[in-house]
């Protein structure tokens, strides 16, 4: 049998796989209510499904599929029957390992959340939160919401009723699909999207509350845990169905032996971006790429029901995928099959580049996801990374298409006309817009252009990749050793039910040297050899009591948390490669660190994406400047006479009152839609009637004149009449790029910095915000703008090396540690002040998040700890003057494309703090300077003098030259700007370190800002 029929076989079980996935989403639904938050030990929530009438009566069709499954597995006896099965899945997912289908949900659940819960209950009780302070925290330790004092909707009584009725509706639709034996994958896909898609009720409700109430595990939401557990459950079950009778039911412990693979699909998005001649080419390609990815998702998540999406950015998607437990899954054939399916879809969208497809090695974590993503990006950076037949190449006539450069456009007379597929992409995006699919935002750069006809492309990223692979989590503690020691003065045989029989001994960890003492005690136990009854190890880790020997315990606590089966794992810790001391150090590290569990990894990327989405929504408000009511409006202009050369849905441009006007002709409506910043045409207090009777000369896209537009009437459009002047080009966990009016850019950057300071203050040193602003005149070729953006991002990325910053001072008060730091790599840099919250909302000390990587080997304070490889980490409150910390600095870089050559000439990025200083300085300058003329004059004089005094060859000052220039500057500020006292000192000092240049260049040259007195 040569034919690969596994996909076909799997599709037969689609209803069962999706029903099981749904049970996975819901298996902890009982936690989405107040009783769970009031008392996490209260088990009444587990029977939540009894509140839904008839739930157990659903899915009669499932019995038939279960029978079939048992048949393919050659499992003797009858399957448990759906009612018992569902009940067991909902109630016993965390209990003892099952040898039937329930084992798969246990495996998924254990992987998604079990990693966190290996703290023995008794020893970690002190980490509980109480009813007055039941916080959900962000993935980066920022307290987000007190769930009981300020309950999200789902936690209220009516919220729970609403949730139950939503769940009922999801299950009823599923029941209908199953009963009708719906064959069309689209029906299943629609059902799934409606149930848990981005805007779904269930996703929002579960995202608002937590799956675990103990600190610091209140960072992962119920959604993260449930969704990831369901994804792993689904893939594990699909794997068993593919393995059929080879599935080794008898020989495995499903809960601990199940592994997963990752399926990665990619497309060379950057290629399409770099080929775009106009923004329409890019947004058109992007739309096609988005559709391609949606179809991929439908194939994997619903059609085959083999996995679920775990990560997505603009060019890569990663899904959970089964891993064989025996030899029943032919991974090579599956890879070929998936590749072929992706190829077919890429062909459908006429992509000029082949898609990427890969299936990873098996693993019991998601930390290797980052490497899979990197591998995909690296491959995709070569557009034609493998043989690829481009579709629609039949036309041999005409010019080479200016966009794809691969097909002919079929028209010898028109050089600028793209080929058919490229043209279709442009048109598709226009149709999409006209159908109201992107109403909130604009798609026209012409609409964004500000009063000075300028636009900004703002690009941002958070350095999230090292979080997704777990390396930056080394900083974060699940418990502090000293607190654990304090709350557990005695080690107790807590699993002995009869309290009078419990053995106990004094905790041997020395309170005055907790870290070293812990390592030493563990090392002693390794030297003595495995002892199942050891109280120290079993009080540190729940699983120790069930361990068989130390190497296997080490494997589950240390090795399994790394990329244990990958090809390049030589650096990962292995029991056999280490001496006893190193083994002890690894145990000590893993017992107390916060782990990169799959739910948490999923939350990290969700949270960064969410951060950018919230920024975007803030930018919408900022750019929709309320001062100018016409800024956000579109008009329909009815012409007196129609020119037959005006073409349907073609843009035309003209001029009115010295302002550019861009219009889109609509033949059906016989008129023009404005795609221009109307605030430049109509004054604040005027109505649209101001345009009536006016004439606008018009040119087409090829700059040829057509008949002018004589406006008969103007009215606000019914659909598309209002927009926000922003065009998001890309929004993913790794990158946010948005176009907006240049005059709004500074305020948008301020907002981003403020939000970052607010939400990431505990991790500012290892989750830097990087901001690039490309300012450009509206008519700058889109290619040049994108190239400048890439160069800017490249500069920002390159500056991302670790810097050594020296602590000058540390003030600990009111729950914060305020550090004065001097970036020691850069002598010109001023010292920077950083305030780090070190107290939790309930008044407890935050011993989990605010740690810094410090220079030196000494473990000095009780909260200090040392990574097995040697790096020492220190709590913010324990930093002393003279300590040197590692910092990944947040930076900002700007470039103004007054000339397209400027895209290669980019100033070194500045610290984020310099941006904020520059903004303050500008406010000060505005206050001091008597007039625009005086300011420009003063700056002109100083610039000229500087040129004169500097060496023209290398641009350096001669000895003492800078001091002399600064003296001169001081005099100029005093004479021309009447500056005195502190103002004079600030200006002089800003002139000395380049801040004044940055400030005046940005505000006067780029933004064309004016000082008020001079406006007339
Ligand atoms: Zn083309």
Q: Tell me the pLDDT tens digit for each residue of 894-918.
A: 999 998 888 888 888 999 999 999 9
Question: CA 773 from chain center: how many Å?
Answer: 20
What confidence score (pLDDT) does residue 2 get? 58
Which of 241-250, 682-691, 953-962 bottoms out in mean pLDDT, i.e. has the lowest?
A: 953-962
The encoded tokens of residue 49 equal 């499904």
Which of 45-54, 536-545, 660-669, 727-736 bottoms out in mean pLDDT, i.e. has the lowest?
A: 45-54
The encoded tokens of residue 41 equal 């030990």
> How many degrees, rounded to 5, is the angle at CA 665 between CA 664 and CA 671?
120
Question: What residues form DSSP beta bridges with 481?
Answer: none
**CA 559 to centroid of ligand 1, rounded, Å:** 50
**CA 353 to centroid of ligand 1, rounded, Å:** 12
**CA 426 to centroid of ligand 1, rounded, Å:** 11
Stretch 308-325: mean pLDDT, rounded?
97
The encoded tokens of residue 178 equal 């199953």
**CA 466 to centroid of ligand 1, rounded, Å:** 38
What confidence score (pLDDT) does residue 956 get? 80
What confidence score (pLDDT) does residue 114 get? 63
Residue with the larger pLDDT of the pair 571 and 166: 166
486 vs 477: CA distance, rounded Å: 16
**CA 981 to centroid of ligand 1, rounded, Å:** 63
Question: What residues form DSSP beta bridges with 716?
Answer: 635
Helix or strand or coil: residue 463? Answer: coil
Q: How confident is the model at residue 438 (pLDDT cuts 50, 70, 90)?
A: low
The encoded tokens of residue 116 equal 């966190």
The encoded tokens of residue 429 equal 């995006």
Helix or strand or coil: residue 123? Answer: coil
Q: Are 369 and 468 in contact (CB under 8 A)?
A: yes
Q: How confident is the model at residue 122 (pLDDT cuts 50, 70, 90)?
A: confident
Please tell me the pTM assigned to this model: 0.95
Q: What are the φ and ψ backbone dihedral angles of 776, each rounded to 5 degrees?
A: -155, 150
979 vs 939: CA distance, rounded Å: 14
Stretch 832-854: mean pLDDT, rounded?
96
Q: Are 43 and 50 in contact (CB under 8 A)?
A: no
**CA 447 to centroid of ligand 1, rounded, Å:** 26
Q: Are 561 and 596 in contact (CB under 8 A)?
A: yes
In the chain, the percentage of residues whose pLDDT exceeds 70 is: 97
What confidence score (pLDDT) does residue 565 get? 42
**CA 924 to centroid of ligand 1, rounded, Å:** 52
Computed over every residue of the chain, the mean pLDDT equals 92
What confidence score (pLDDT) does residue 1011 get? 86
> How many degrees, rounded to 5, is the angle at CA 518 between CA 512 and CA 523?
140
What confidence score (pLDDT) does residue 828 get? 59
Model pLDDT for residues 207-231, shown as the tens digit of each residue? 999 999 999 999 999 999 999 999 9
Model pLDDT for residues 494-504, shown as the tens digit of each residue? 888 898 999 99
Q: How confident is the model at residue 77 (pLDDT cuts 50, 70, 90)?
A: confident
**CA 32 to centroid of ligand 1, rounded, Å:** 51
**CA 279 to centroid of ligand 1, rounded, Å:** 15
Stretch 84-100: mean pLDDT, rounded?
85
228 vs 223: CA distance, rounded Å: 8
The encoded tokens of residue 455 equal 């636009």
Indicate left, alpha or beta for 815 from its phi (over 0: left) and psi (-120 to 50: alpha).
left
What confidence score (pLDDT) does residue 1016 get? 39
Which of 79-88, 286-295, 693-702, 907-916 bottoms out in mean pLDDT, i.e. has the lowest?
A: 79-88
**CA 421 to centroid of ligand 1, rounded, Å:** 6
What confidence score (pLDDT) does residue 56 get? 80
Stretch 80-99: mean pLDDT, rounded?
85
905 vs 873: CA distance, rounded Å: 39
With CA atoms as reference, report the closest residue to 368 among 563, 574, 557: 563
**CA 449 to centroid of ligand 1, rounded, Å:** 28
Q: How confident is the model at residue 800 (pLDDT cuts 50, 70, 90)?
A: low
Whether pLDDT at 564 is above 50:
no
Q: What are the φ and ψ backbone dihedral angles of 282, each rounded to 5 degrees?
A: -70, -50
**CA 425 to centroid of ligand 1, rounded, Å:** 9
Whether pLDDT at 299 is above 50:
yes
Stretch 653-674: mean pLDDT, rounded?
93
Stretch 356-364: mean pLDDT, rounded?
94
Q: How confident is the model at residue 97 (pLDDT cuts 50, 70, 90)?
A: confident
What confidence score (pLDDT) does residue 117 get? 61
Stretch 740-757: mean pLDDT, rounded?
97
What confidence score (pLDDT) does residue 1015 get? 43
Question: What residues form DSSP beta bridges with 56?
Answer: none
Q: Are 418 and 409 in contact (CB under 8 A)?
A: yes
What confidence score (pLDDT) does residue 394 get? 77
**CA 456 to centroid of ligand 1, rounded, Å:** 27
Whether pLDDT at 255 is above 60:
yes
Strands 891-896 and 769-777: parallel
Model pLDDT for residues 867-886, shown as the tens digit of each residue? 999 999 999 999 999 999 99
The percent of the chain in helix, strand and coil, each rounded to the nearest 5, is 45, 15, 35
Model pLDDT for residues 326-354, shown as the tens digit of each residue? 999 999 999 999 999 999 999 999 999 99
**CA 293 to centroid of ligand 1, rounded, Å:** 21
**CA 429 to centroid of ligand 1, rounded, Å:** 15
Whether pLDDT at 10 is above 50:
yes
**CA 980 to centroid of ligand 1, rounded, Å:** 62
**CA 423 to centroid of ligand 1, rounded, Å:** 7
Stretch 415-439: mean pLDDT, rounded?
88
Whether pLDDT at 563 is above 60:
no
1011 vs 219: CA distance, rounded Å: 47
Residue with tokens 């939000």: 755
Q: Are 136 and 210 in contact (CB under 8 A)?
A: yes
Q: Are 211 and 594 in contact (CB under 8 A)?
A: no
**CA 337 to centroid of ligand 1, rounded, Å:** 29
The encoded tokens of residue 53 equal 């009438």
**CA 374 to centroid of ligand 1, rounded, Å:** 28
916 vs 912: CA distance, rounded Å: 7
**CA 389 to centroid of ligand 1, rounded, Å:** 14
900 vs 533: CA distance, rounded Å: 73
Helix or strand or coil: residue 318? Answer: strand
**CA 378 to centroid of ligand 1, rounded, Å:** 25
Stretch 9-35: mean pLDDT, rounded?
95
End-to-end CA distance of the chain: 86
Model pLDDT for residues 597-621, shown as the tens digit of each residue? 899 999 999 999 999 999 999 999 9
């Amino acid at each position: 049998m040569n034919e690969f029929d596994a996909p076909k076989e799997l599709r037969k079980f689609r209803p069962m796989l999706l029903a099981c996935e749904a049970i996975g989403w819901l298996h902890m639904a009982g936690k989405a209510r107040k009783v769970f938050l009031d008392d996490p030990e209260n088990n009444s929530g587990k029977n939540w499904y009894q509140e839904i009438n008839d739930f157990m009566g659903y899915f009669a069709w499932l019995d038939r599929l279960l029978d079939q499954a048992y048949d393919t597995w050659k499992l003797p006896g009858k399957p448990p029957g759906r009612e018992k099965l569902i009940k067991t899945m909902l109630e016993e997912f965390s209990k003892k390992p099952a040898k039937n289908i329930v084992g798969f949900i246990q495996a998924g659940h254990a992987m998604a959340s079990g990693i966190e819960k290996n703290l023995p209950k008794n020893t970690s009780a002190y980490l509980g939160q109480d009813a007055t302070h039941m916080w959900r925290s962000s993935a980066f330790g920022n307290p987000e919401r007190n769930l009981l004092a300020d309950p999200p909707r789902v936690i209220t009584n009516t919220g729970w009723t609403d949730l139950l009725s939503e769940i009922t509706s999801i299950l009823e639709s599923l029941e209908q699909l199953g009963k009708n034996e719906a064959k069309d994958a689209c029906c299943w896909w629609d059902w799934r999207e409606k149930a848990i898609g981005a805007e779904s009720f269930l996703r929002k409700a579960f995202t608002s509350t937590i799956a675990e109430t103990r600190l610091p595990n209140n960072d992962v939401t119920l959604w993260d845990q449930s969704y990831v557990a369901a994804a792993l459950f689904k893939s594990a079950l699909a794997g068993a169905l593919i393995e059929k009778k080879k599935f080794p039911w008898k020989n495995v412990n499903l809960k601990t032996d199940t592994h997963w693979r990752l399926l990665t699909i990619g497309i060379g998005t950057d290629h399409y971006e770099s080929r775009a001649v106009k923004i329409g080419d890019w947004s058109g390609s992007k739309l096609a790429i988005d559709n391609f990815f949606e179809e991929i998702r439908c194939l994997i998540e619903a059609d085959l029901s083999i996995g679920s999406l775990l990560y997505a950015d603009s060019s890569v998607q990663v899904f959970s995928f089964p891993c064989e437990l025996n030899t029943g899954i032919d991974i090579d054939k599956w890879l070929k099959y998936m590749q072929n399916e992706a190829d077919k879809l890429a062909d459908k969208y006429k992509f000029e580049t082949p898609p990427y497809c890969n299936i990873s090695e098996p693993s019991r974590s998601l930390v290797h996801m980052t490497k899979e993503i990197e591998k995909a990006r690296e491959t995709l950076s070569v557009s034609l990374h493998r043989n690829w037949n481009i579709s629609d190449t039949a036309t041999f006539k005409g010019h080479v298409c200016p966009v794809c450069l691969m097909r002919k456009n079929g028209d010898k007379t028109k050089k600028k006309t793209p080929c058919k597929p490229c043209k279709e992409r442009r048109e598709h995006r226009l149709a999409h817009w006209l159908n109201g699919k992107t109403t909130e935002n604009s798609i026209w750069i012409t609409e964004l252009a500000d009063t000075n006809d300028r636009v900004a492309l703002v690009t941002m990223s958070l350095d999230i990749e090292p979080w997704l692979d777990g390396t930056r989590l080394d900083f974060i503690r699940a418990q502090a050793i000293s607190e654990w020691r304090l709350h557990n003065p005695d080690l107790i045989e807590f699993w002995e039910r009869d309290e009078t029989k419990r053995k106990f001994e004094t905790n041997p960890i020395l309170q005055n040297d907790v870290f070293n003492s812990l390592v030493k005690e563990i090392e002693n136990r390794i030297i003595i050899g495995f002892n199942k009854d050891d109280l120290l190890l079993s009080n540190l880790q729940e699983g120790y009591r069930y361990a068989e020997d130390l190497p296997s315990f080490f494997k589950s606590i240390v090795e399994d948390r790394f990329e244990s089966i990958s090809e390049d794992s030589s650096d990962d810790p292995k029991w056999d490669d280490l001496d006893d001391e190193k083994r002890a150090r690894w145990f000590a590290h893993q017992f107390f660190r916060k782990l990169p569990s799959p739910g948490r990894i999923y939350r990290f990327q969700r949270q960064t994406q969410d951060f950018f989405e919230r920024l975007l929504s803030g930018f919408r408000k900022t750019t929709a400047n309320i001062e100018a009511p016409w800024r956000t409006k579109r008009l329909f202009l009815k012409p007196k006479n129609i020119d037959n050369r005006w073409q349907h849905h073609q843009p035309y441009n003209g001029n009115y009152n010295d302002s550019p006007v861009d219009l889109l002709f609509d033949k059906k409506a016989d008129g023009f839609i404005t795609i221009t910043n109307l605030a430049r045409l109509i004054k604040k207090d005027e109505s649209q009637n101001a345009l009536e009777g006016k004439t606008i000369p018009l040119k087409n896209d090829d700059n040829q004149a057509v008949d002018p537009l004589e406006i008969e009437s103007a009215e606000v459009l019914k659909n598309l009449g209002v927009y926000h002047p922003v065009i998001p080009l890309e929004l993913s966990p790794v990158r946010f790029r948005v176009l907006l009016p240049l005059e709004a850019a500074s305020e948008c950057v301020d907002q981003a910095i403020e939000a970052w300071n607010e939400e990431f203050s505990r991790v500012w040193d290892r989750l830097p915000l990087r901001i690039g602003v490309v300012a450009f005149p509206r008519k700058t070729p889109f290619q040049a703008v994108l190239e400048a953006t890439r160069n800017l991002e490249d500069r920002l990325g390159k500056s991302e090396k670790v810097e050594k910053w020296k602590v000058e001072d540390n003030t600990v008060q009111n729950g914060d540690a305020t550090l004065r730091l001097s970036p020691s790599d850069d002598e010109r840099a001023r010292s920077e002040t950083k305030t780090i919250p070190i107290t939790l909302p309930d008044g407890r000390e935050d011993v989990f998040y605010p740690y810094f990587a410090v220079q030196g080997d000494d473990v000095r304070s009780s909260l200090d700890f040392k990574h097995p490889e040697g790096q020492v980490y220190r709590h913010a409150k324990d930093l002393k003057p003279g300590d040197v910390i590692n910092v990944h600095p947040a930076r900002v870089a700007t470039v103004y494309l007054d000339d397209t050559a400027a895209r290669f000439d980019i100033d070194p990025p500045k610290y984020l703090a310099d941006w904020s200083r520059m903004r303050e300085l500008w406010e000060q300058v505005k206050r001091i300077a008597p007039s625009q003329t005086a300011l420009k004059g003063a700056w002109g004089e100083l610039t000229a003098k500087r040129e004169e005094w500097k060496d023209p060859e290398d641009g350096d000052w001669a000895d003492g030259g800078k001091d002399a220039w600064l003296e001169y500057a001081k005099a100029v500020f005093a004479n021309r700007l009447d500056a005195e006292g502190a103002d004079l000192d600030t200006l002089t000092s800003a002139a000395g370190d380049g801040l004044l240049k940055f400030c005046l260049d940005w505000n006067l040259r780029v933004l064309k800002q004016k000082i008020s007195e001079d406006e007339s």
